[in-house]
Structure 1
Amino acid sequence: MKTASRIVAAASLLAFAWLGVGTVWALDAAAGRVIRIGPEREIRTLQQASRLVRDGDILEVDAGDYRRDVAVWTHDRLEFRAVGGRVRLLADGASAEGKGIWVVRGGTVSVDGFDFIGARVPDRNGAGIRFEKGVLRIRDCRFLDNENGILTASDGESALEISNSEFARNGFGDGQSHNLYVGAIARLTVTGSYFHHARVGHLLKSRARESRILYNRLTDEIGGTASYELEFPNGGVAYVIGNLIQQSSTTENPHIIAYGAEGYRGENNHLYLANNTLVDGRTQGGVFLRLAPGTRSVLAINNILVGNGSLESAGPGTYRNNFNAGWEGFERAARDDYRLAADSPLRFKGVEPPQVGRLSLRPEQQYVHPRSSRPLRVERLSPGAFQVDG
């Protein structure tokens, strides 16, 4: 007992440690150092913290606006947490390495509660985050008015995970920059997130070997000028489950989802579309799915198409239990509420999707606006992204 007491006492004495630069570092016994950043603290900026950080640190940042506070992060096991509200990083003409507000390359990095706003650089590829290597986990973040929301390198071992986040009004306007632009990384996972109003570019473009696009809202909406809503230019294995995907009436590109348009590069090229609601806002000429010819497979099941056209017209594949529906078949389609109406004949008309490897195509969650998702427990499936409770 005395030994245990001494250990507890020693841990208490180590609750704060001095590094010789006039800065207090809090210690978290379970996770490592906690660095506190804010305008009223010893460390006032993230740029300052980037010169002091070590592997395993937790950076707690006080809510507020941080202008021209750009930084490069190269360490492993870093956690960034907003404290007391949102942390808004406004580029205001500054950039790290001429690339964006943050450059991330290293190990595992997690970011929670940050807004990345207004990145612009001379090569027109300014990103909220330029992600070059490692594992990057984004939660409850917003990427607004950048030339790219997130732009990744093509490191084949890297992974990007995004949840409960928003991407809006990103893109230079040349069609080469996007809300989210993912290079040839190992894996992309996006859940419970809201993509809208990209400037001429795509809402989401992924070259990842495996992409999991699950329970999101990708909608170009009124006045939108986005190109593709969802593109996999080099194929890969793509799981698209439980999403609301809508193109606006003002887009210049009639295609909603495109797969393989720039050529298939890997050996495994499989597209799975399950329980999505696909909305064509164009009065004529909209295309729900564009498939490039080549060695690939497509399985589309339990999708609802709002507008004229079909998925089968894209080319050979397996198409099961997909339906066209009119605007009147939903609660309030004019307000982007695509829950099935009480009198819709499509209620409970879903069929059980198959298991694909270790992943079931049966939806396990459901998107909740503005940027989240909730667990889904229904016995009788309906087609589309939104299930009927009861």
Structure 2
Amino acid sequence: MPAASAFISPPLLTRRRWLAGALACSGAAAWAQPRHVLQVGPRRALRSLAAAAQAAGDHCLIEVDAGEYRADVAHWPQNGLHLRAVGGRVQLKAEGAHTMGKGIFVTAGQDQRIEGFDFSGASVPDGNGAGIRMDRGSLYLRDCRFHGNQMGLLTNNEADARLQLEDCEFGPILPGQRHNHNLYVGRIAELRVIGCHLHHGHFGHLLKSRAAFTQLLYSCLSDEPDGRASYELEFPNGGRAWVMGNLIVQGAQTDNPALLAYGAEGQVWPENELNLIHNTLIDRRPSGGKFLQLKTNTGPAPVRVRLLNNLLAGPSRLELARDWEASGNGHASWDDFLNASEGDYRLRPGSRWRGRAVAAGMAQAPGGQRLALRPERQYQAPHHSLALPVAARDLSPGAFPLD
């Protein structure tokens, strides 16, 4: 992805420090050392993330000592930025502070990376206070946690923006909010979520994506017994949605009877399809609800729907349309799982669904790449994923094909 110039001129009193950081971290300093590192911590020259954001230039590696950073908010417009926790977790607690009226961090650069950070307490007057507000650019998060915010992570509608989340946790949302989401992605180019856990919504959705291409892989979306999410998963504007290897659980106190919704607000992208492959879908709503709520006739072309090797449980039933590709799906009883009452939805050894997945073949992803419609990994609590053996055979339907 091409890097865009996104510097914001710092205040006069900090300009000298900013210039030193920019020179240290830019390619112009490569002759002096392979890579310069800015260090942040209570015993460092830079004691706050806010100071580091002013000091940093493009392509900085910023190492942050573990600990609590209170009311420490920052705007990050740099390209090639890498923020990494050192010696444990970095805990960012908003305590009423925010940047640009948006949240704890606001990101706006290309090829940014953040690892090992916790974001909590984001609250702003308009009710959309986010742990991270992604204004534009491309961002990769690994092992980050969002809890007690009005919004977990929120993006703008930037057609060329890209977001990737790996081994991250979102929830619970800040109590008392209305229609705020754990993860809300606007009309961006691509969202990729792998090995993440989204839980404890409060009237809003666990994941809402308007992206042109969304990949939700080997993750857990579960509202838990005391959560009150609306949809667990929604694609309101259609797009290409690849949902594979996920455990998705609708809680008993859900604010909406549908677990997954697609196209409710009309399709805005030229390509639209929904692929549900090897997911375990659980409906805990006592009176039952809907596993899928799809509107596939709101765009210029029909939506392709592919449902393969999904395992469902609960009082709801899966209603299939004639033009959908569907095979290998099954409805399990609670006794088919190791311990459904405790949230363990792996199949027990004697379950009739063991080894009954069908061969799913191949499909074409955006860009023309051919992908096998079989899982390569498997979700592992609390927010990770594990690789499956390449030669594994006799897979079971659902999110736990070998367990």
Q: Is the pair's TM-score, using the shorter chain for normalization, greater than 0.5?
A: yes
The one-letter amino acid of 2:49's match is L
Instruction: Name 2:195's counterpart in structure 1.
Output: 192
Aligned partner of 1:355 in structure 2 is 362
Once the 2 structures are TM-superposed, how far is the Cα of residue 175 of structure 1 from its aligned partner?
4.1
Q: Residue 383 of structure 1 aligns with which residue?
A: 397
| Separation in 2, partners of 1:30, 1:108 | 22
Q: Is the CA contact 1:66–1:87 (under 8 Å) kept in the aligned structure 2?
A: yes
Partner of 2:11: none
The structure with more strand, counted as a fraction of residues? 1
User: What do the CA deviations read for 1:194-223 (whole angstroms, capped 9, x no partner)?
Assistant: 000011100000000000000001000111
2:80 is the counterpart of 1:59: no
Map of 2:318 onto structure 1: 311
In structure 2, the partner of 1:276 is 279
- 1:108 aligns with 111
Structure 1 counterpart of 2:47: 44
Offset, 1:176: 3.1
Contact 1:366–1:374 (Cα < 8 Å) also in 2: yes
TM, length-normalised to structure 2 = 0.88
Match of 2:154 in 1: 151
Give the aligned length.
372
Contact 1:173 1:201 survives alignment (8 Å) = no
Correspondence for 1:264: 267
Counting only pairs closer than 5 Å after superposition, residues 328-339 of structure 1 correspond to structure 2 as 328-339=335-346
Return the alpha-carbon distance in structure 2 between the equivalents of residues 329 and 283 of structure 1.
Answer: 19
Task: Map Cα deviations across residues 274-333 of structure 1 (whole Å, 9 max, x no partner).
Answer: 000000001123110000141211000100110133333467412111100111101111
**What is the match of residue 15 of structure 1?**
none
2:129 touches 2:151 (CA, 8 Å); kept in 1? yes
Question: 1:381/1:142 Cα in 2 relative to 1: closer, same or farther (>3 Å)?
Answer: same
Paired residue secondary structure (1:227): coil
Match of 1:322 among 329, 348, 355: 329
Answer yes or no: is 1:345 the counterpart of 2:345: no
> Are residue 296 (structure 1) and residue 303 (structure 2) matched?
yes
Partner of 1:3: none
CA contact (8 A) 1:368 1:374 kept: yes
Distance 2:217 2:162 in 1: 16
Map Cα deviations across residues 250-277 of structure 1 (whole Å, 9 max, x no partner): 1120000100011111121100000000
Instruction: Give 1:338 deviation, angstroms.
Output: 0.8
Q: State how far apart, in whole Å, the 1-side matches of 2:236 and 2:258 are.
A: 13
Measure the CA separation in 1 of the matches of 2:266 and 2:17: 53
Alpha-carbon displacement from aligned partner over 1:325-378 (angstroms, at most 9, x marks no partner): 111101111111111011001100001112111222210000010010010122
Spell out, residue by residue over 1:2-32, the C-alpha distance to the aligned partner (whole angstroms, 9 max, x if none).
xxxxxxxxxxxxxxxx979999x79998862
Matched to 1:332, the amino acid is N
Q: Bigger CA drift: 348-357 or 58-67?
A: 348-357
Relative to structure 1, the CA distance from residue 235 to residue 372 in structure 2 (aligned partners, 3 Å threshold; closer, same or farther) is same
In 1, Cα distance between the equivalents of 2:396 and 2:262?
26
Determine the C-alpha separation between the residues in 1 that align with 2:133 and 2:85: 20
2:86 matches 1:80: no
Structure 1 stretches of 5 or more lacking a match?
1-17
Tell me the percent identity: 47
